[in-house]
Amino acid sequence: MRRMVGVVAMLAFLAAGDIARAQDDHEAEEGAKVFKRVCFICHTSEAGKNKIGPSLFGIVGRKAGTVPGFAYSEAMKSSGITWDEQTIDKYIEDPKKFVPGNKMAYAGVKKKDERKEIIAYLKTLR
């Protein structure tokens, strides 16, 4: 009986992980759609390819203002930010408020769910 309870507990644990991964995958898929709608005009998801804005490939974990070949504002280069879920969320909500003096001419993504989805998508760009 104890062994059966252990097996059931293990299966429940594994199922919970599958559900969480499915949720993450769904958020990333939705984030790709939002990215194409609001970010892709200025940014790419391809490594080494900048547009009006820098490539966002590999942004999670990267120090701000460091993509080769992109002319960042002094404010961004000296911000000291390392991009993680929290810093990306705050930045894309209100870029001018989070890094005063940056060059991004965008008012921000006001919907929290959309920011969460964009971040989930950005985390897949490795």
Domain at 79, CATH number? 1.10.760.10
Place of tokens 């701000």: 64
**pLDDT at position 11:** 45
**pLDDT at position 57:** 98
Name the band, by pLDDT with cuts 50, 70 and 90, for residue 3.
low
Return the axis-axis angle of helices 85-93 and 112-122, rounded to nearest 10°.
130
Contact of 61 with 82, CB cutoff 8 Å:
yes
Q: How many CA atoms lie within 13 A of 103 on its CB side?
A: 13
Domain that holds residue 74: 2-122
Contact of 45 with 35, CB cutoff 8 Å:
yes
Average pLDDT over residues 49-70: 97
Contact of 72 with 65, CB cutoff 8 Å:
yes
Torsion sign across C-alpha atoms 105, 40, 50, 123: positive
CA distance 32 to 81: 24
Average pLDDT, the chain: 89
Average pLDDT over residues 50-72: 97
Q: Taking the model in full, what pTM does it have?
A: 0.82
Split into its structural domains, the chain has a count of: 1
Q: What percent of the chain has pLDDT over 90?
A: 80
**pLDDT at position 24:** 76
pLDDT of 5 higher than 90: no
Contact residues for 107 (Cβ-Cβ < 8 A; gap 6+): 94
Degrees to nearest 5, angle at CA 58 with 53 and 60: 100
